[in-house]
Amino acid sequence: MLPFTLQQLRILKAVATEKNFTKAAELLYLSQPSLSKQIKTLEKNLDIVLINRENNKISLTENGKVFLQYSERILALCEESCRALIDLKNGERGNLTVGASQTMGTYLLPRVLALFAQNYPQIALKVQVNSTRMIANSVINREIDLAIVGGEIPNKLKKNLIIENFVEDEFSLIVSKSHPFASKKEITKEDLYHLNFITLNSNSTIRKFIDNILEQNQIETKQLKIIMQLNSIEGIKTAVSLGLGAAFVSSSAIEKEIELKTIEILKIEKIKITRKLSIVSNAECYKSKAFEFFYKELIQLKNNIEN
């Protein structure tokens, strides 16, 4: 006999998420006394303390954090087994959880999802947007079926993943229509030192990627004049449109601005900043019908873009 039930694992996960017994009980449609009793039974059967209960604050002990990791993997595997059986029973029906890194999730993925929902309305879609590292972890933990990411995946995670090239994402240098450089067809590397840049913060994966490409092209990034650092691409685009400076932004994020003619794209002599987007999935995870359909749509999109 196992010292825990699936319901107790669900309860532990809910408590860890909500950090509150009452909210966790409401989430699972249980009474608080019933939930507390289940936690105490679980701790007794495992003979360890899972939850700190000090000063009315709820947090996991180190034992609790370790056990939660396995609990989440067990629950994800249970959900996967149910999806496999549903596939066999209903054929094309099913659920799919898709992940994406920040820029992809905000600008590229919604268009893919809209098209997929039209073609396969019977499939229920869920979307998670996070950093590339967090998305890759979720794919490994079977919480996400398939993801599109643009950042670098840590080497220690790659061995558990299937990583396939998707399409190229180009970063464009944008300025407002009123900018003195707006009429130029192409600028030189030296011109970059005369621009006022608006960027993401220095810890941003995208910022580091762009700086690395510029440095490979003999641009002294520390000599560039950065007048503003913002935490969102939308904020950067607005600032540029208002004539506050220039910025490197993913081409997938500026289609609206190009259509409204609020910005101008500057080409840089002999420099093109692109990165490969990747399709990421779990090497060991069951590939449902819903997964196969979505993957097929992505490959079709890739072929359309490349041709």
CA pair distance 145, 282, nearest whole angstrom: 7
Say what the pLDDT of residue 104 is.
Answer: 85
Same domain assignment for residues 106 and 174: no
Q: Are strands 263-268 and 186-187 parallel, antiparallel or unpaired?
A: parallel
Give ∠ CA 64-68-70 in degrees, rounded to 5: 125
CA pair distance 144, 97, nearest whole angstrom: 5
Say what the pLDDT of residue 243 is.
Answer: 94
CA pair distance 172, 261, nearest whole angstrom: 15
| 285 and 138 Cβ atoms separated by less than 8 Å | no
Spell out a b/e string for 215-243, using b for 16 or more CB atoms within 10 Å of the CB, else e: eeeebeeeebeeeeebeebeebbebbbee
Q: Where residue 20 sits, what CATH number does that domain have?
A: 1.10.10.10
Q: Which residues of the chain have pLDDT under 50?
A: none
Say what the pLDDT of residue 21 is.
Answer: 93
Rg of the chain over all Cα atoms, to the nearest angstrom: 24
Q: Where residue 281 sits, what CATH number does that domain have?
A: 3.40.190.10
CA pair distance 229, 34, nearest whole angstrom: 49
Calculate the alpha carbon distances from 195 to 25, 166, 189, 223 in Å. Answer: 55, 33, 11, 11
Same domain assignment for residues 280 and 293: yes
Two tokens, residue 133: 């590292």
CA pair distance 182, 270, nearest whole angstrom: 18
Same domain assignment for residues 16 and 134: no
CA pair distance 201, 232, nearest whole angstrom: 9
| 167 and 306 Cβ atoms separated by less than 8 Å | yes
In a domain, 83, yes or no: no
In a domain, 116, yes or no: yes
Same domain assignment for residues 110 and 203: no
Two tokens, residue 77: 């595997």
In a domain, 79, yes or no: no
In a domain, 84, yes or no: no
Count up the domains in the chain and report the number.
3
Q: Per-residue pLDDT tens for 137-179? A: 999 998 999 999 988 888 888 988 999 999 888 999 999 999 9
In a domain, 256, yes or no: yes
Say what the pLDDT of residue 90 is.
Answer: 62
Same domain assignment for residues 27 and 155: no
Same domain assignment for residues 235 and 255: yes
Helix (H, G, I), strand (E, B) or coil at 61: coil
Two tokens, residue 2: 């196992």
Same domain assignment for residues 139 and 280: yes
Q: Per-residue pLDDT tens for 84-95? A: 777 666 656 678
Same domain assignment for residues 155 and 300: yes
In a domain, 108, yes or no: yes
Same domain assignment for residues 230 and 248: yes
Same domain assignment for residues 52 and 34: yes
Two tokens, residue 259: 């259509």
In a domain, 127, yes or no: yes
Same domain assignment for residues 210 and 282: no
Same domain assignment for residues 139 and 68: no
Say what the pLDDT of residue 75 is.
Answer: 93
Say what the pLDDT of residue 244 is.
Answer: 95
Say what the pLDDT of residue 15 is.
Answer: 94
Say what the pLDDT of residue 92 is.
Answer: 61
Residue 62, domain extent: 6-74
In a domain, 138, yes or no: yes
